[in-house]
Structure 1
Amino acid sequence: MREQQGVMPGPAHTAPGTPYLTSRPTDSARLRLFCFHHSGGSAAAFSALRGVLAPHIEVVAVQLPGRETRLRHPLPPSMADLVAEIDEHLDPFLTGPYAFYGHSMGALVAHDLISRRQARGALPPVRLIAGACRAPHLPAAFAAQHAESDDHLVRSMLDIGGLSPELLRYPDWLQAAVSLNRGDLRLCASRDTTAVAPLPCPIDVFHGTDDPLVHERDARAWADRSTVSCRVHRFPGGHFFFLRESRAAFADRIAALLRETPEPARGT
């Protein structure tokens, strides 16, 4: 879903030569946390997190096509195609210790990227943190909405807090937000959930206690997706707890988890 207007800072620019990244990772020894945004959102959702976690953790926000400085970049036709593109572009930066955080759709992108890398024997992350997302073998929350009318999609986005009512005053912006969400949700609906193998890294699941899209049992179902461990962490708030009700607690918990960083296992 799109960030509520006025909550987050302006657009994040992509790094030269790396269209999927808003900043080129440095050569430092810091652990890198790659962040994947929610549907209709953008890399700007993680701007504040970058400042909070520095200097010990380097936050690298991933920017999907079709938004902000990538408006003219079309979305790939399927989630598998998107993940293949991201794998190609990020692979040079996934050579040392790194972790993934994905929120909602972003958690599915992160999960599928790890799964792809696992299949080809690439280095996995030291940890996957999945926020506001049903387990990846379940139907993606809200994904079926991509086939609904614009009016229905707008009402649904308003109901879950993914759209500012103020945007209703600006038809062009509203249409852009609806189109962006529809494209992202179509990607989520395109996923193959029948061949999901457990991942070779710990998984931590972040769940908003009042999330209208993700029931606690569906968050806990991530336990089947790791060969190492899985823990569920609950936060006050709804689907966007990381931007609103629990912003400080969210950042603190990520910092604490990444201090637990285990040695990465080589994929087979």
Structure 2
Amino acid sequence: MADRASPWYSVYRPRPDAEVQLYCLPGAGADATMFRPWADRLPPDIELRAVRLPGRHAPHPEKPFTGCVEAADRLATGLAAHLRVPYVLFGHSMGALLAHQLIGALARGGLPPPLLYVSASWLVEGTPRERLPDPAASDERFVEVLARLGGVPSRVLADQEVLAFTLPVLRADFELCRTYRFDPGAPPLTVPVRAMGGVADRVTPVEEMTGWARHARRFLGTRCFPGDHFFPRDQTAQVLGVLVEDIRAVRAAARAP
């Protein structure tokens, strides 16, 4: 269910006494429900808050984002009143891009950083354009590239009525991805960073995820999982196992004298 106090995230299993808030951001074309199966698998001290991006949920006060800086600023404004330290940011693909940008937007607003940032299937240097659908392409070409990437069920791609609703959101999302500009001169993140990748991922090959080591003062390494770009959907138990382990370790390190 969506939190009554905010349209920006859903809490499928409320845990008001939880010690950690886990904000999860979905990838292009996906929505908060991709994280619904995670809610019951987390320990009682972690509350899942699945971020609701505009264009997927009604009613929502915003139109689909098409720029990553604008998106991060709006998310920071929408979430600011609900963040409680310690909190963790997990993002998949475009969601990892947004979580990365959100860290900067929150800092600009004088808000505390997350305890941990997890980038699943996203490269800090950005994903090369040729690996992604062109938002300006024809519907036929756009759908063809989507089908090669996987992740969107074939029944959706074959249903013209569903596509009429889905394609505008997907086009906006891939336009957003194209607005990201990697700054090679930017200082490394001070937030602990965990990278995750699928061994068969052709969009963000797992061996490229090690590049995070150059952009984080505390890089926890890359964890590899069976599957492709969409491994967080298919390897829930394994991903959550690593995630919970990392949260425990980072919390313990933060509390150590």
Name the TM-score, length of structure 2 as normaliser. Answer: 0.88
SS in 1 for 2:3: coil
Amino acid at match of 1:31: V
Amino acid at match of 1:63: R
Q: Check if 1:84 corresponds to 2:103.
A: no
**What is the aligned partner in structure 1 of residue 4 from structure 2?**
16
- Displacement of 1:26 after TM fit? 5.7
SS in 1 for 2:182: coil
Query: For residues 72 and 151 of structure 1, what CA distance do their matches in structure 2 show?
Result: 31
Query: For residues 101 and 69 of structure 1, what CA distance do their matches in structure 2 show?
Result: 23
**What is the aligned partner in structure 1 of residue 162 from structure 2?**
173
RMSD between superposed Cα atoms in Å: 2.3
Query: For residues 109 and 171 of structure 1, what CA distance do their matches in structure 2 show?
Result: 29
Q: Check if 1:65 corresponds to 2:72.
A: no
**What is the aligned partner in structure 2 of residue 111 from structure 1?**
100
Query: For residues 159 and 46 of structure 1, what CA distance do their matches in structure 2 show?
Result: 23
Q: Check if 1:138 corresponds to 2:123.
A: no
**Equivalent pair of 1:205/1:232 in contact (CA under 8 Å):** yes
Change over 3 Å in CA distance of 1:29–1:52 after alignment to 2: closer
Query: For residues 139 and 241 of structure 1, what CA distance do their matches in structure 2 show?
Result: 17
SS in 2 for 1:55: coil
**Equivalent pair of 1:210/1:238 in contact (CA under 8 Å):** yes
Query: For residues 155 and 207 of structure 2, what CA distance do their matches in structure 1 show?
Result: 34
Q: Which of 227, 233, 239 is the matching residue for 2:229?
A: 239
- Aligned counterparts, 1:1-268, within 5 A: 13-23=1-11, 27-70=16-59, 73-135=62-124, 137-139=125-127, 142-143=131-132, 145-194=134-183, 196-244=186-234, 246-262=235-251
- Displacement of 1:70 after TM fit? 4.4
Amino acid at match of 2:20: L
Amino acid at match of 1:15: D
1:76-118 C-alpha deviation (Å, 9 max, x unpaired):
4421111111101111222310111000000000001112223
- Displacement of 1:216 after TM fit? 2.6
SS in 1 for 2:90: strand
**Equivalent pair of 1:114/1:199 in contact (CA under 8 Å):** no
**Equivalent pair of 1:124/1:264 in contact (CA under 8 Å):** no
Runs of 4+ in 1 over 6 A off after TM superposition: none
Q: Could you tell me which runs of 5 or more consecutive residues in structure 1 were left unpaired when the two chains were aligned.
A: 1-12
Aligned residues: 251
SS in 2 for 1:220: helix
Query: For residues 39 and 247 of structure 1, what CA distance do their matches in structure 2 show?
Result: 19
Q: Could you tell me which runs of 5 or more consecutive residues in structure 2 were left unpaired when the two chains were aligned.
A: none
Query: For residues 192 and 90 of structure 2, what CA distance do their matches in structure 1 show?
Result: 12
Amino acid at match of 1:151: E
**Equivalent pair of 1:212/1:239 in contact (CA under 8 Å):** yes
Name the TM-score, length of structure 1 as normaliser. Answer: 0.85
1:145-202 C-alpha deviation (Å, 9 max, x unpaired):
2222211121111112122112244201023222211111111111232264321111
**Equivalent pair of 1:46/1:61 in contact (CA under 8 Å):** yes
**Equivalent pair of 2:18/2:45 in contact (CA under 8 Å):** no
> Which is worse superposed, 39-48 or 113-122?
113-122
Change over 3 Å in CA distance of 1:249–1:221 after alignment to 2: same
SS in 2 for 1:75: coil
Query: For residues 63 and 196 of structure 1, what CA distance do their matches in structure 2 show?
Result: 29
Change over 3 Å in CA distance of 1:243–1:65 after alignment to 2: same
Query: For residues 192 and 169 of structure 1, what CA distance do their matches in structure 2 show?
Result: 34
